[in-house]
Structure 1
Amino acid sequence: MRVHPIRGLLYWCGWENQVQAPTAKAATARQTTLPDYRHYKLTHGQFVIAALAGALALFGAVYLFYHSVIIAAMFSFAGVIAPRYWRAGLLQQRKDRLKLQFKEALFSLVSSLAAGRSIENAFVSTLDDLRLLYPDPRTELLIEFQIISNRLDHAEPLEQALRSFAERAGIDEITQFADALAACKRSGGDLIEVMKRTSAIIGEKLETEQEIAVMVAQKRFEGKIMMAVPFVFLGFLSFAAPDYMAPLYSGLGYLLLTAALGLLLFCFWIMNKMMDIRM
């Protein structure tokens, strides 16, 4: 399906609510009534706020380097890509919440299995426990377990309902749990014991991921401060000692400033790559 270049650019930047997706797969995802956690749609307000914030940040940063309103205004148009990165951040936050909620659900599920309940009844019992942990009815996993419970009431196999959730979640731990349940039911093994062991392993993995995330969060904050310091220092010198900075805004000074800005952007990219830890 052909898409107009401008519409395709807007879609790439995050303007999904107004631009038709350029792929048939994304169009099909829109038609389903069930939540799809692999995608995140920004509202009109979120898109505009992110684009304006990105434009203002770029304008301020470039102006500090070049002291030229025209150059800063030209670069500020690149702020339109800010919604794309904000959307990616919101999507990752939602997946992290879903992982944390799934870990809590696994603890409840193991307790129910240890009490002698069947795997189907254990899922229904876990839904009641989740309601106590998360009073907000909009909680992602609470909605999904309610969907699974409704499907069980309509005599749909548990592994099929769980597989649907795993496909829409796009999270490895949930997919692994669904695969283990389906394989155990096909092979006729000790379902309860396998589910207990699988839940324990996945729970330990999620705990390890959370510990790593806590350690990395501090370094991410330190990296943001380190990236902000050169701009603050440059702004301070431009205000306190304009004569000292004047040679940078003529002739070869612009080349030095451009090289410094490029080096800062490269360092920012390197830091993000170093902090992007996935298990």
Structure 2
Amino acid sequence: MDYRKYQCNLWERLGCVVAGIILTAAISWLFYRSWYGMVLVIPVNYLIVSYYKKKKKDERAKKLMIEFRDAIQSVAAALLAGYSIENAWKEAEREVMGLYGKEAMITQELIRMNTEIKLNRNVEEILHDLATRSGVEEIESFAEIFGFAKRSGGDFAGIIRTTAMRISAKIEVEREVDTVIAGKKLEGKIMSVMPFLILTYLNLASKEFIDPLYGNLSGVFVMSAALLIFAGATAINRRISDIKV
């Protein structure tokens, strides 16, 4: 599996399409009072699908990083118990399967890894392949250090423990950051829906107040400009709150 790409299943695609249609219909009515605004359904759907794929890919990468940390901790423990480096990965497979189940990403990767080890493929080559497909910086760094240590006869157990500690530290920092900015993210989500709520209120309670903005070319320009400013502000807000550690 290439973890750098996320493929939506049928239900996810249908969900994104429905969300895009609903959002486009809201934009058409609130900003233009015309179904001609439904021509935006294609770009809106594209943006929703792109955002959803990125979100799911990032979530999967974080989950893979946590599972990989637990796997290499098992490898380090097996090495200290006297296992060879090849057998240590087999022992890690057994422990990870008990921890996460057979369908977990890291379990499947370890099953694949141990199968290829039996076919006399080098461990560092297998790790390098996983690192490339994962797109996770910590796994890529570990694969490079592991390959260098294997060629030069380094302390595998020490290297693996150090890597696991660094991954754990990063996970903890990310959790602390998420806790600190959780309130700001909520504020951003509220601000994202406020223009729709305000326009809905004005259309229902003070329709004559905003009637001049509809049904004429100047009104289309004004509302289009407002929509673009709103979309840009939403994008900036998401980028600011998406802090990478």
Which TM-score bucket, shorter chain as reference? 0.7 to 0.9
Q: Distance in 2 between matches of 1:80 and 1:161?
A: 38
Q: Does 1:58 align with 2:6?
A: no
Q: Say if 1:131 and 1:142, in contact at 8 Å, map to a contact too.
A: yes
Q: Which residue of 2 aligns with 1:267?
A: 233
1:243 CA displacement:
2.4
Q: Distance in 2 between matches of 1:200 and 1:36?
A: 26
- Unaligned regions of 5+ residues in structure 2, if any? none
- Unaligned regions of 5+ residues in structure 1, if any? 1-34
1:164 to 106, 109, 129: 129
Q: Which residue of 2 aligns with 1:241?
A: 206
1:140 CA displacement:
0.7
Q: Does 1:143 align with 2:108?
A: yes
Q: Which residue of 2 aligns with 1:106?
A: 72
- Number of residue pairs matched by the alignment: 243
1:229 CA displacement:
1.3
Q: Does 1:126 align with 2:119?
A: no
Q: Which residue of 2 aligns with 1:86?
A: 52
1:173 to 138, 142, 147: 138
Q: Does 1:277 align with 2:219?
A: no
1:62 CA displacement:
3.3
Aligned-pair identity in percent equals: 29
Q: Distance in 1 between matches of 2:65 and 2:77?
A: 19
Q: Distance in 1 between matches of 2:186 and 2:79?
A: 41
- Which deviates the most, 225-234 or 44-53? 44-53
Q: Distance in 2 between matches of 1:203 and 1:246?
A: 57
Larger relative contact order (CA 8 Å, sep ≥ 6):
2
- Which deviates the most, 211-220 or 72-81? 211-220
User: Aligned pair in 2 of structure 1 residues 117, 218: CA closer, same or farther (>3 Å)?
Assistant: farther
Amino acid at match of 2:155: D
Q: Does the residue aligned with 1:156 lie in a helix, a strand or coil?
A: coil
Q: Distance in 1 between matches of 2:182 and 2:80?
A: 36
User: Aligned pair in 2 of structure 1 residues 257, 79: CA closer, same or farther (>3 Å)?
Assistant: closer
User: Aligned pair in 2 of structure 1 residues 155, 217: CA closer, same or farther (>3 Å)?
Assistant: farther
Q: Any idea what the Cα deviations from partners look like across 1:31-62, whole Å, max 9, x if unmatched?
A: xxxx1112222334533432332132122123
Q: Distance in 2 between matches of 1:105 and 1:212?
A: 25
User: Aligned pair in 2 of structure 1 residues 123, 170: CA closer, same or farther (>3 Å)?
Assistant: same
Q: Which residue of 2 aligns with 1:38?
A: 4
User: Aligned pair in 2 of structure 1 residues 63, 169: CA closer, same or farther (>3 Å)?
Assistant: same
User: Aligned pair in 2 of structure 1 residues 218, 129: CA closer, same or farther (>3 Å)?
Assistant: farther
Q: Distance in 2 between matches of 1:198 and 1:95?
A: 17
TM-score computed with the length of structure 1 as normaliser: 0.77
- Which deviates the most, 240-249 or 179-188? 240-249
Q: Does the residue aligned with 1:138 lie in a helix, a strand or coil?
A: coil
1:141 CA displacement:
0.8
Amino acid at match of 2:122: P
User: Aligned pair in 2 of structure 1 residues 215, 144: CA closer, same or farther (>3 Å)?
Assistant: farther
Q: Does 1:77 align with 2:42?
A: yes
Q: Say if 1:180 and 1:198, in contact at 8 Å, map to a contact too.
A: no
Q: Distance in 2 between matches of 1:45 and 1:195?
A: 40
TM-score computed with the length of structure 2 as normaliser: 0.87
Q: Say if 1:52 and 1:79, in contact at 8 Å, map to a contact too.
A: no
